[in-house]
A and B are shown apart, each in its own frame.
Chain A
Amino acid sequence: MAIRRILIANRGEIALRVIRTCRALGIETVLAASKTDLDSLPARLADRTVCIGPGRPADSYLRVDTIVQAALGVKADAIHPGYGFLSERAVLARLCEREGLIFIGPTSVQIEAVGDKLRARAEAEAAGVPTAPGGAVETVREAMVLGREVGMPLLIKAVGGGGGRGMKRVDRLADIPSAMELAEAEAGSAFGDARVYLERFVERGRHVEVQILGDGKGRVVQLGERDCSVQRRFQKLIEETPAPNLSADLRARIHGAAVLFAERLSYRNAGTVEFLVDLERDAFYFLEMNARIQVEHPVTEAVTGIDLVAEQLAIAEGRGLRLKQSDVRSDGCAIECRINAEDPARDFHPSPGTVRAAVWPSGDGVRVDTHIASGSRISPYYDSLMAKIIVHAADRPAALEGMRHALAATRIEGVATNCAFHLDVLGDREFQEGGVDTGFLPRFLERQRVDQEVRAHG
């Protein structure tokens, strides 16, 4: 069925991103916006905006019934959930299925399959995709047996967690009983699911994820990987493709594993299969699957020239995959910096407020996805992402150089941002060499802190 009108159940830059592709395709957009967001850029650029509730997300963007009622009320054919908010809530997908609305994403069953991390792990094993040594544990006795087998250190993970939430590191076998008790109690209150599982803790690991598209009938193509190892407290800051300093063999195996996993689920729509690359063992393990369009999707678009949102829409319309694997080509290198309204000098504390002036970079190979212009307000209700600056160049050194120029040309007044911090990271030798592990950013911050102390006392 052709989609004529879409309800966008999101805000910020991703709402604008969806509007952009819809415009190009001649699809009408209705933005479901909170009262706080009524004067935002996406609200101005959507064909229509409906006010779904007050600023607090729990009273607006997170209300499944209100979103579906809004879609029905404006006679939309489909709902695009963006990322975050309701994007990976099976209840929304299910309600759409029941009401005859197209959910631009996977089926509710697929969302449930990947949302339950233990089930996703079992699916990975069944698909022949490597997982970190570990497994489900129901009792402390089981945990002790499995813990001895897996070895130390290990992680106790919440089945309902994901994205870095609900994990506990254990360094000594003797600590398992108390850590497990605590993990179960926390998981119960945070996710409404007290189940936990064990996994080997990888001391030096890289976060490498693969973008896939599935038609929902078992056909899957992969659009290459993204390296998202530059993270602070599991929040990605810089993403790039291709993953630097990864052997051709390992890269090909990771791509293949992502396809196997998505094929096993007959996955529908755009998705990302995340892996942890174990640098010490030259191995990789399935981490989880994100059943949505991701923040960092533009780096993949830059090197492949494929509009991922347009592909999402085509799949949602039942037109299947318009690409064969051999159609997917990757050209050059792309890097993305997330510009957040946060203050690195104050432990990255959010910095909401009114943006007095915003000047974004432009030029060859530079793309900026943002909803922020001079006069925009950054509300404390929502995450602090202001913009994504993406630079595409022939190779990594050129992309890094281009990003330095782009960041230097960026001028934001009124709120604190992490622009200068990004420049510091880009200037770091370890980062420039490429292929850093997820421990890089904490190490970098520690080096910065020590340098500052030395300067202060010298």
Chain B
Amino acid sequence: MTLTAKDVAEIMRLLEQSSFDSLSLEIDGVKLNLQRGSPAPLRPTAAATPAAESQPVPSAPPKSKPPSEPGLAEVISPLLGIFYRAPKPGEPPFVEVGSQVAEDTVIGIIEVMKLMNSVRAGARGEVVEILAENGALVEFDEILLRVRPGA
């Protein structure tokens, strides 16, 4: 299999539309290195990522740290409450960094006055960052963890 000019053009178009900055492809000994935005240095993080939501909170510092890589899906807290990573104290967490999740995988529990609410991933892929701390207060709309979308 070889890459035609048309294929390359199609790949470039896909990259243009994606949220990725660069792409490396190797097929049958043919290496293709594409990089978006001409002289920009290769920087893996923040700047190029879609700045999550443009929800300005002038006073408070940003609550969650920026993502470690572009293109990550965010799992958002659906309500304010106490976040628990495990079903019960002492038990292993629902997910760890590296866990594979599907849309309906339970990733944690949020307690609101003794009422336990399961939180589901809502995305398919690999957990790469866990931001919410076990036993801590999470707010509505806060990022709990980030998932690298995948199959």
**Does chain A bind chain B?**
yes
Contacting pair B57 A35 (CB below 8 A)? no
Q: Can you list, as one digit per residue, whether each of A67-95 has a CB less than 8 Å from chain B (1) or not (0)?
A: 01110011000000000000000000001
A39 to B57, CA, bound (A): 5
Contacting pair A39 B58 (CB below 8 A)? yes
Residues of the B chain whose Cβ atoms lie less than 8 Å from the Cβ of A50: 80, 137, 139
Contacting pair A48 B139 (CB below 8 A)? no
Residues of the A chain whose Cβ atoms lie less than 8 Å from the Cβ of B137: 50, 70, 73-74
Contacting pair B57 A73 (CB below 8 A)? no
Residues of the B chain whose Cβ atoms lie less than 8 Å from the Cβ of A49: 57, 59-60
User: Which residues 26-41 in A have Cβ within 8 Å of B in the complex?
Assistant: 35, 38-39
Which of A38, A60, A68, A69 has a CB less than 8 Å from the CB of B82? A69
Contacting pair A51 B58 (CB below 8 A)? no
Kindly provide the distance from the CB of B53 to the nearest chain A CB, expressed in whole angstroms. Answer: 10
Q: Does A52 contact B (CB under 8 A)?
A: yes
Q: Can you list, as one digit per residue, whether each of B51-75 has a CB less than 8 Å from chain A (1) or not (0)?
A: 0000111111000000000000000
Q: Can you list, as one digit per residue, whether each of A437-454 has a CB less than 8 Å from chain B (1) or not (0)?
A: 000000000000000000
Q: Does A66 contact B (CB under 8 A)?
A: yes
Kindly provide the distance from the CB of B63 to the nearest chain A CB, expressed in whole angstroms. Answer: 9
Q: Does A54 contact B (CB under 8 A)?
A: yes
Q: Does A401 contact B (CB under 8 A)?
A: no
Complex A-B: 28 CB contacts under 8 Å: A39-B55, A39-B56, A39-B57, A43-B57, A43-B59, A44-B58, A44-B59, A45-B59, A49-B60, A50-B80, A50-B137, A51-B80, A51-B141, A51-B142, A52-B80, A52-B139, A53-B80, A53-B140, A60-B140, A65-B113, A65-B115, A66-B80, A69-B80, A69-B112, A69-B113, A73-B82, A73-B137, A74-B137
Additional A-B contact list (10), CB under 8 Å, known A51-B142, A53-B140, A66-B79? A35-B55, A46-B59, A51-B80, A51-B139, A53-B79, A60-B140, A65-B112, A66-B81, A69-B81, A73-B82
Which residues on A are within 8 Å of B, measured CB to CB?
35, 38-39, 43-46, 48-54, 60, 65-66, 68-70, 73-74, 95
